[in-house]
Amino acid sequence: MATPKWKSPFELLAIGIYVLIFGSAAIIKFLVDLVLKGPRRMFYYKKRIVRPQVLSDNRFGSHEFVMLKNSRMKLHCVVNGPKDKPLMLFLHGFPEFWYSWRFQLKEFCKDYRVVAIDMRGYGESDKPRPVSSYHMDQLTSDVNQLIVALGYEKCFLVSHDWGGAVAWMFAYQYPEMVEKLIVCNSPHPAAFGELLKTSWAQTFKSWYMFFFQLPVFPIVILQSNDIEWVSDVFCGQAMGAKPGSFTDEDIEAYKYTLYNYDDLLGPINYYRARFRYAKIDTSLVKIKPPVMVIWGTKDGALSKELPELAAKYIENYTLKWVEGASHWVQQEEPDVVNGHIREFLKS
């Protein structure tokens, strides 16, 4: 695959200014916490060697590895359902892995061949280190090669967050391989770019994307205090789901997958590649496969205007709101989300 093209110097300069502002703020906050809480607490994290039992629950499916033909990338998948059924492929977001689709794997395995993957850089999949390995063309190529490797020509594509970003682009690049596209709380790329130009609120909500552009510091800070940020993201007041949506076992499973340096490097490199390399203009052509967006209205990272802005970029568009749900909508309100998915698939 060709070397990705960098953004223009002007774009990189503008990004650099935001990186300086938000990066400095994050580092200052970390130093304040270091003084208040002490180095023993801030630099403590327990060893996580034993795989949490919940990740071996056979109700979700069997664990398999697929070697992609062209990239030689090895992807970990959890697979369930009959082989003669249509393929339903699930793409997770940050900081997740296949486990974020546990409720959907159990729900749809009777009618579909359901496959939830660890995207490259995550979980038990291969974790290349170069930022260029996370260019969008690489990520969509992974999906293309995986569908073929699984023995299919097309799929029902279900996605969330960063998986949604990949799914949007995949529907542009390989529309013939998408029966229907389902996106949970992930903005259409053109709509997101449009809002960032006009909304300071969305810019501040996206502060962590700029912070992740710094070298080393993001991983050092994320590993601090026994990677407590994982609990904050899923259960905290700003970004978290309703109380009870995530069990202690769920949080421990997420911490287990983000334990080592390389476990965090890959996920962070998604953001670095997005800010570093030029992207395709997705505002010029409408997405052809039918699309349904499911959106939790209490998303702490993404503005509520985004799903409505997406409508003009899609030929056949359905929007379903999940009132009061957080960014983690398919895990917080699985019955509601599964109902919307089933209705859309039957329509």
Q: What is the pLDDT of residues 89-108, one digit of tens each?
A: 999 999 999 999 999 999 99
Average pLDDT, the chain: 96
User: What is the C-alpha end-to-end distance of the chain, expressed in Å?
Assistant: 38
Percent pLDDT > 70 in the chain is 99
327 is catalytic: yes
- Which residue in 134, 270, 271, 313 is the catalytic one? 271
The whole-number average pLDDT for the span 218-245 is 96
Contact 140, 174 (CB under 8 A): yes
Percent pLDDT > 90 in the chain is 95
For position 122, what pLDDT does the model report?
Answer: 98
Using the predicted structure, report yes or no on whether residue 279 has a pLDDT greater than 90.
Answer: no
Q: In degrees rounded to 5, what are phi and psi of residue 25? A: -65, -40
Contact 128, 121 (CB under 8 A): yes
The whole-number average pLDDT for the span 271-287 is 93
Using the predicted structure, report yes or no on whether residue 280 has a pLDDT greater than 90.
Answer: no
Using the predicted structure, report yes or no on whether residue 2 has a pLDDT greater than 90.
Answer: no
- Which residue in 126, 142, 161, 299 is the catalytic one? 161
Using the predicted structure, report yes or no on whether residue 187 has a pLDDT greater than 80.
Answer: yes
Task: Report the 10 Å Cβ neighbour count for 217.
Answer: 14
Using the predicted structure, report yes or no on whether residue 60 has a pLDDT greater than 80.
Answer: yes
197 vs 111: which has the higher pLDDT: 111
Using the predicted structure, report yes or no on whether residue 258 has a pLDDT greater than 90.
Answer: yes
Q: How confident is the model at residue 283 (pLDDT cuts 50, 70, 90)?
A: confident
CA distance 110 to 247: 26
Q: In degrees rounded to 5, what are phi and psi of residue 338? A: -60, -35
CATH architecture group of domain 9-346: 3-Layer(aba) Sandwich (3.40)
- Which residue in 92, 160, 188, 327 is the catalytic one? 327
Which tokens is 265 given? 């490097």
Exposed e or buried b for every residue in 15-54, given b needs 16+ CB within 10 A? beebbeebbeebbeeeeeeeeeeeeeebeeeeebeeebee
Model pLDDT for residues 134-182, shown as the tens digit of each residue? 999 999 999 999 999 999 999 999 999 999 999 999 999 999 999 999 9
Return contacts of 40-49, CB within 8 angstroms, 24+ apart.
41/225, 42/224, 42/225, 43/224, 44/225, 44/226, 45/223, 45/224, 45/225, 45/226, 45/227, 45/259, 46/226, 47/259, 48/252, 48/255, 48/256, 48/259
Q: How many CA atoms lie within 13 A of 295 on its CB side?
A: 23
For position 115, what pLDDT does the model report?
Answer: 99
Model pLDDT for residues 148-159, shown as the tens digit of each residue? 999 999 999 999
Using the predicted structure, report yes or no on whether residue 1 has a pLDDT greater than 80.
Answer: no
For position 146, what pLDDT does the model report?
Answer: 98
161 is catalytic: yes
For position 3, what pLDDT does the model report?
Answer: 80
> Could you give the maximum distance between any two Cα atoms of the chain, in Å?
59
Residue where the block lists tokens 């990066």: 23
Residue where the block lists tokens 């710094």: 214
Contact 293, 183 (CB under 8 A): yes
Q: Is 185 left (phi over 0), alpha (psi -120 to 50) or beta?
A: left
